[in-house]
Structure 1
Amino acid sequence: MTRTQWAAVTAVVLALLFAGAATVASAGPGKAAGDTTAAPAADSADAGFARDMSVHHQQAVEMSFIVRDRTKDEEVRRLAYDIANTQANQRGMMLGWLDMWGLPKVAPGVEPMAWMGMPSHGSGHSGALMPGMATAAELDRLRAATGRQAEILYLRLMTEHHKGGVHMARGCVDACRPGVERDLAQGMVDAQESEILLMADLLKARGATP
C-alpha cells in the first residue's frame, strides 16, 4: 500500500471511529463515554479546543476545496478530498459537543489558544491567528495559482497548518479531560503527522521542499 493510500485509509477509519464515539457521548448530555462529570466550563481546555480547532479545521477545508479546482493532479486532489472530508466531519463533532454542553461556539473577547495558556499570533480570528493558519494574502495566492504552482503552495501551506493543528491537539491531549474529545485529539495528532510525511514526499516529487 502506498503512503497516499495509507493516509487515506487512516483518515477514513479515524473519522468513522470518532463519529461512533461521538454518538455514544451524545446519549448523556454533557458526558463523554466513561466520563460522569458535568459539562465542561466555557473557559475549559475542552471548550477552548473545540472552539479553536473548529475554526482551524474550517480553513483546512477551505484550502482543500481551493486546490481541488486549481489542479488536475489526482494525488493532490485525492489528498485534498481526504483532508476536507475528515476535517469537516471532525469539525461537526466538535461543534456538536459545544451544543450538547450548552456552550457558545464563539467566545467574544477570548483570544485563541487562551485555553493553552499561550498567546496567538498575527491578526484574524478574535484578533489573532492560531498556529499554522494561513494569512488572507496566502489564501489569495493559492486562489490565483494553477497546476504545479498551486500544488506546491497548497502542500506547503497545509504542512504548516497540520503542524499547528498537531500542536493544538497535543495541548488537548495534555489538558482535556479523559473521554472522546481527548481521544479525538490524539487521533488528530496521529493522522496529521502521517499526512505531514506524505506531503513531504509529494513536495519532493515536485522538486520542492516544505
Structure 2
Amino acid sequence: MLFAAAATVAAANGGGASAGSGAPARTEPRTPGLRSPDAGFARDMAVHHQQAVEMSFIVRDRTQDEAVRTLAYDIANTQANQRGMLLGWLDLWGLPKVVADEPPMAWMGAASGGGGDRAGHDGHGGRTADPASGALMPGMATKEELERLGAASGRDAEVLFLQLMTDHHKGGVAMAEGCAQQCGTPVEKALAQGMVDAQRSELTLMADMLKQRGAAPRG
C-alpha cells in the first residue's frame, strides 16, 4: 500500500518515469502573464458579456413577446455564467480584472484595428469601438443606444434589441476568434471556440427574427 501511494504521488508530480526511461519530464502549464492574450481576453470579454446581460434584462421588461424574452434569457444566463468563468480564471492566475493603462483589445494587437473603415465597421461585420460614445469594444452599444432601448417598448424594443445584439455578437465572435487563435490556455481556447459557434447560431436566429418583424440587421 505504501508503494502504491508513493507511486501515485510521484506520478502526480510528473516523476513517475525513471531517470533512465528517456520519457520527457512533465512541466506544469505556465500561468498567463498580465499582458497575455489569455488575460486580456478574459478582462475584455467579461466587460463585453456584462453589456449583453444588461441589454437582455432591459428588453425582458420592454416586451411581452415570448420568443424575444426567451432569447434574452438564454443570452443573459449563458453570458453571465461565462463571465464568471473568465473572472474566476483571472483570480486563479493572480491577475487584476482591470488594468488602468491597458487600452481595450490591446491583446489582439494589430488584429483589433485591422480592416476597419471610416463608416464605423470592423472588418468582421461589427462596428468598431468608439470610446467617446461609451462603446469600448467592437459591437458594444453606446450609452445613447442603451437609453433608446430602455425607452422603447413592444415591436420597437424587439427590433432594436435584435439589431443591437446582432452587432454585439459580431464583435464578440471576432474577439473570441482572436482568443481561439492566440490564447495559450486550452480550457480558455475551448470556451472561446464555443462562444464563436454559439453566437454564430444566434446570429442566424436573430436575422430570422428581424425578418419576421419586417426589419433587418444594421449595415
With structure 1 as the length reference, what TM-score do the two structures score? 0.80
1:206 to 197, 207, 213: 213
Structure 1 Cα separation of the partners of residues 154 and 83 of structure 2: 29
Structure 1: 5+ residue runs without aligned partners?
A: 1-33
Structure 2 Cα separation of the partners of residues 122 and 167 of structure 1: 16
Aligned residue identity for 2:171? G
Find the structure with the greater CA-based Rg.
2
The percentage of counterpart residues that share the same residue type is 69
* 1:162-181 equivalences in 2 (<5 Å): 162-181=169-188
Displacement over 6 Å in runs of 4+: none
| Matched residues, number | 176
Encode CA deviations 1:128-148: one digit per residue, 9 max, x unaligned.
610000000000000000000
Match of 2:197 in 1: 190
Structure 2: 5+ residue runs without aligned partners?
A: 1-25, 114-127
Encode CA deviations 1:91-126: one digit per residue, 9 max, x unaligned.
00000000000000001010011000134631169x
Match of 1:63 in 2: 55
Match of 1:78 in 2: 70
Encode CA deviations 1:21-51: one digit per residue, 9 max, x unaligned.
xxxxxxxxxxxxx983221000000000000
Match of 2:90 in 1: 98
With structure 2 as the length reference, what TM-score do the two structures score? 0.77
Structure 2 Cα separation of the partners of residues 128 and 141 of structure 1: 15
Structure (1/2) with the larger helix percentage: 1
Q: CA RMSD in A?
A: 1.8
Aligned residue identity for 1:73? D
Aligned residue identity for 1:49? F
Higher relative contact order, chain-length normalized (CA < 8 Å, sep 6+): 1
Q: Offset of 1:158 from its aligned partner?
A: 0.1
CA gap 1:133/1:35 in 2 versus in 1, 3 angstroms: farther
Structure 1 Cα separation of the partners of residues 101 and 27 of structure 2: 30
Q: Offset of 1:204 from its aligned partner?
A: 0.4
